[in-house]
Amino acid sequence: MNLIAADIPGVVFRRLRAPDDYDGMAEANQATRDSAGRPWPVSSEWLAGFFERFGTSDLERDVLVVERDTRVIGYARVSWRDQVDGARVVTSQCILRPEERGRGIGGAMLEWVEARMTELAGELHDGPPTYRNTSTWGDDPGGAALLAANGWTEHERGYEMIRRDLEDLPDVPLPAGFEIRPITDDAGRDRVWDAVVEAFADHRGQGRKTDADRQRFLEDRHQDPTLWAIAFDGDEIAGGVLGILDAEPAPDGTRRGLVDGVFTRARWRRRGLARALVARSLALLRTRGASRAVLFVDGANPNRAMTLYESLGFEIAAVETEWIKPYPQAASMEDPR
């Protein structure tokens, strides 16, 4: 059944067929990453976990799969989240292979997304959403133009950054009073989760965390505590970095490390702790075979993170633009943070 009445030869818009679609969806997603210059890969395993374990999507109703001649060429997903600042946001992701752009497919996908966002707003009986958001990457001016023409507004930017080698790593000692300690049991992982949630509570767009989020973190097999750099001040966790090694080598045979979850709790900020922990994380990733490192940063990060990462050899690889659109009943959206 074609879910969209768009007459595009060979193209079908249909519902998700899980798990059969995940391989094709991951290939489409990777094609967009390659086009945008994003250095961190996506796998069908990760995509399946993202769709089935994270967020609030109804996979029967909130996912649109696009195929041409039985090959998956893109997909869209709608979900919602409550944020720590009190906002309720309905969000979407639209993925379309770069060679399929400019053929009317993106416009049809956006029409479906906006219709589903409107339906979803009426289904949230415990409170209406505040606004909608989505994003584009820097290699997709057509997608940006499409959103602008349909009443969406640029809001903030995010960046995927890369350190192209792990040679000549800076020696950044820990500030006085801190100690790196290993996390060796579930109780320690639980404490790290609490510290991360607290540290990010004042960052833009942070979702309100639930017990289910905690459990997913504790069970996430991609999280390897032996790659974490967690700093203690006495018995208190002060900050940390949750390093991740990519599951498969890059096409050239090298391994990539993700410098993820860089956090410092508020009372320990402005002491140089984050810089020392990122340097430690890079060294840990190198010992496990990584030859380059990737991280993500919000352009509106309140703690001057961009400057920190650039001082450690990272450079911008790709730029993401967040777009917002208020619901008719919502208040002014001049600053939805």
Q: Please indicate, yes or no, whether residues 145 and 176 belong to a single structural domain of this protein.
A: no
In a domain, 4, yes or no: no
Q: Please indicate, yes or no, whether residues 28 and 153 belong to a single structural domain of this protein.
A: yes
Count the domains in the chain: 2
Dihedral sign, CA of 255, 259, 288, 172?
positive
Say which range, 108-117, 211-220, 253-262, 311-320, has the weakest mean pLDDT. 211-220
Q: Please indicate, yes or no, whether residues 179 and 300 belong to a single structural domain of this protein.
A: yes
Q: Mean of the pLDDT values across residues 168-192?
A: 96
pLDDT digits (tens, 9 = 90+) for 28-51: 999 999 999 999 999 999 899 888
Q: Mean of the pLDDT values across residues 109-120?
A: 96
In a domain, 203, yes or no: yes
pLDDT on residue 305: 83
Q: Please indicate, yes or no, whether residues 86 and 34 belong to a single structural domain of this protein.
A: yes
Please report, for residues 44, 117, 244, the alpha-carbon distance to residue 123 in angstroms, rounded to integers and kept in the order given: 30, 10, 37
Q: Mean of the pLDDT values across residues 8-28?
A: 96
> CA-CA distance, 156 to 323, in Å (whole number)?
8
In a domain, 332, yes or no: no
In the chain the beta strands, taken as DSSP E runs, fall at 11-15, 63-68, 71-82, 88-96, 131-137, 153-163, 179-180, 228-233, 236-245, 255-264, 290-298, 315-326
Q: Please indicate, yes or no, whether residues 119 and 187 belong to a single structural domain of this protein.
A: no
CB 200 within 8 A of CB 263: yes
Q: Please indicate, yes or no, whether residues 64 and 137 belong to a single structural domain of this protein.
A: yes
Residue 336 predicted with pLDDT over 70? no
In a domain, 119, yes or no: yes
DSSP letter string, 172-204: -PPPTT-EE----SHHHHHHHHHHHHHHTTTST
Q: Please indicate, yes or no, whether residues 279 and 242 belong to a single structural domain of this protein.
A: yes
Q: How many CB atoms lie within 10 A of CB 1?
A: 6
> CA-CA distance, 330 to 337, in Å (whole number)?
14
pLDDT on residue 52: 83
Q: Please indicate, yes or no, whether residues 110 and 79 belong to a single structural domain of this protein.
A: yes
Range of the structural domain that residue 112 is part of = 11-157+320-326
User: What's this model's pTM, rounded to 2 decimal places?
Assistant: 0.91
CB 28 within 8 A of CB 74: yes
Q: Please indicate, yes or no, whether residues 147 and 192 belong to a single structural domain of this protein.
A: no
Confidence of residue 53 (pLDDT cuts 50, 70, 90): confident
pLDDT digits (tens, 9 = 90+) for 278-334: 999 999 999 999 999 999 998 877 667 888 999 999 999 999 999 999 998 644 444
Q: Please indicate, yes or no, whether residues 138 and 233 belong to a single structural domain of this protein.
A: no
In a domain, 148, yes or no: yes
Three-state DSSP at 91 gives: strand
In a domain, 2, yes or no: no
Q: Please indicate, yes or no, whether residues 98 and 16 belong to a single structural domain of this protein.
A: yes
In a domain, 164, yes or no: no
In a domain, 333, yes or no: no
Q: Please indicate, yes or no, whether residues 258 and 127 belong to a single structural domain of this protein.
A: no
Q: How many CB atoms lie within 10 A of CB 275?
A: 20
CB 312 within 8 A of CB 282: yes
Domain with 58 in it: what CATH number? 3.40.630.30
What's the mean pLDDT when you consider all of the chain?
92
